[in-house]
Amino acid sequence: MANVELADPANAPGDFFVDRNCITCPTCRQVAPTVFGDGPRRPVVVRQPASSAEELQALMALAS
């Protein structure tokens, strides 16, 4: 489970975030490419979901 205290500062502000425990697999970027993208050290949330469909994709990515 992601820890907000370990959130990467490169994430877009909001409820979804990637923390420093990320193993840098491509899953989140494949499942929700409009939300997750490449950060300086690991994938990050490049923008928060803008629709219910994007939110569902982001939740699926987090569960993967």
Helix, strand, coil distribution of the chain in percent, nearest 5: 30, 10, 55
At residue 23, the pLDDT reads 93
Which of 29, 22, 25 has its CA nearest to residue 60?
A: 29
- Hey, what domains does the chain have and what are their CATH numbers? 4-63 (3.30.70)
Per-residue pLDDT of the chain (64 residues; tens, 9 = 90+): 789 999 999 999 999 999 999 999 999 999 999 999 999 999 999 999 999 999 999 999 999 8
Which three-class secondary structure string do you get for 2-29? CCHHHECCCCCCCCCCCECCCCCCCHHH
At residue 56, the pLDDT reads 98
At residue 64, the pLDDT reads 87
At residue 2, the pLDDT reads 81
